[in-house]
């Protein structure tokens, strides 16, 4: 744990694990932190952008690496930042980033984090050790294997769905040998697709991308989409403090 930019904001780094164990660790860490704080008379939240946190939102940076059957780091390349396997996995993450946003950022609040020049991404692209890009590629160094870091997620995400969605997108990239394109030097001004601006946009992207239905079935995707569209409808029906300030005295 270490202090971050926002008031009472902390960064928590968990050890690298196999995918299922990593998801278990996230659930345990969130529950333990909330319970320990409650016992001390404090409130811990994993909400992405609470009221008053204008200086910094909170994200979930999901690091991913692959190993082959011998245990060798499959993303390593002798003459490039990523092997062909790593590039194709990365290509899949980018190709399905819009549809996958409903799993990495499943709340209305999480989309308020996608702001330029905020150390959070606002569009679909990758960069070499670039913290402004959606996908930060970390080349192999000091004996550690190469990995990719998806910086688009929020800490409220269901870890099992977030990680599973990355596996679906990455595997599709491997199957189709998807090219991720060139790295971005200026991610906030690059002429590439924007990330969804709202949960509704992300759900529309999910409906237009069949990759998750092929992996999980249309029933599962329809069930998840119905829950999230209901959540978004409740948000639209709520009269916010901003609306009251903006319109009540003016109109």
**97-104 and 199-208 helices cross at what angle (nearest 10)?**
130
Residue-wise pLDDT for 111-166, tens only, equals 999 988 888 999 999 999 999 999 999 998 877 799 999 999 999 999 999 999 99
Q: Which two tokens mark 152? A: 């688009």
For the sheet containing 147-153, what is the strand order?
60-64, 147-153, 135-138, 126-128
For residue 244, the model assigns a pLDDT of: 96
**For every residue of 34-97, which 3-state class applies, written as one string?**
HHHHHHCCCCCCCCCCCCCCCCCCCCEEEEECCECCCCCECCCCCCCCCCHHHHHHHHHHHHCH
For residue 131, the model assigns a pLDDT of: 94
CB 205 within 8 A of CB 138: no
Backbone phi and psi for residue 191, each to the nearest 5 degrees, phi listed first: -80, 65
Report d(CA 10, CA 25) in Å as an integer: 17
* pLDDT over 70 percentage in the chain: 99
What domains does the chain contain, in order, with CATH numbers?
Answer: 57-247 (3.30.590.10)
Average pLDDT by stretches of 10, the chain with 251 residues: 88 95 98 97 94 81 95 91 97 98 98 91 97 95 88 97 98 98 96 97 98 98 98 97 95 93
For residue 56, the model assigns a pLDDT of: 79
Task: Please tell me the pTM assigned to this model.
Answer: 0.94
For residue 236, the model assigns a pLDDT of: 97
Sequence-distant (≥ 6) Cβ neighbours of residue 222 within 8 angstroms = none
Other beta carbons within 10 Å of 97:
25
Residue closest to 158 by CA, chosen among 106, 119, 109, 205: 106
């Amino acid at each position: 744990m270490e202090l971050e930019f926002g008031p009472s904001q902390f960064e928590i780094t968990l050890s690298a694990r196999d995918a299922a164990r990593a998801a278990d660790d996230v659930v345990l860490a969130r529950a333990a932190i909330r319970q320990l704080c409650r016992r001390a008379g404090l409130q811990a939240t994993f909400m992405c952008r609470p009221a008053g946190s204008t200086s910094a939102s909170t994200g979930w940076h999901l690091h991913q690496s692959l190993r082959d059957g011998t245990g060798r780091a499959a993303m390593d390349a002798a003459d490039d930042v990523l092997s062909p396997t790593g590039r194709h996995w990365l290509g899949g993450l980018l190709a399905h980033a819009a549809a996958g946003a409903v799993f990495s950022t499943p709340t209305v609040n999480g989309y308020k984090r996608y702001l330029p020049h905020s150390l959070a991404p606002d569009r679909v692209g990758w960069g070499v050790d670039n913290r402004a890009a959606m996908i930060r590629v970390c080349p192999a160094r000091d004996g550690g294997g190469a990995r990719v870091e998806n910086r688009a997620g929020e800490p409220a995400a269901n870890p099992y769905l977030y990680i599973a969605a990355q596996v679906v997108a990455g595997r599709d990239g491997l199957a189709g040998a998807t090219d991720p394109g060139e790295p971005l030097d200026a991610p906030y001004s690059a002429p590439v697709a924007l990330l969804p601006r709202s949960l509704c946009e992300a759900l529309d992207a999910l409906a237009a991308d069949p990759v998750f239905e092929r992996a999980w079935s249309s029933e599962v995707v329809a069930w998840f989409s119905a829950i999230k569209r209901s959540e978004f409808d409740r948000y639209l029906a709520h009269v916010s403090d901003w609306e009251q300030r903006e319109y009540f005295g003016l109109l």
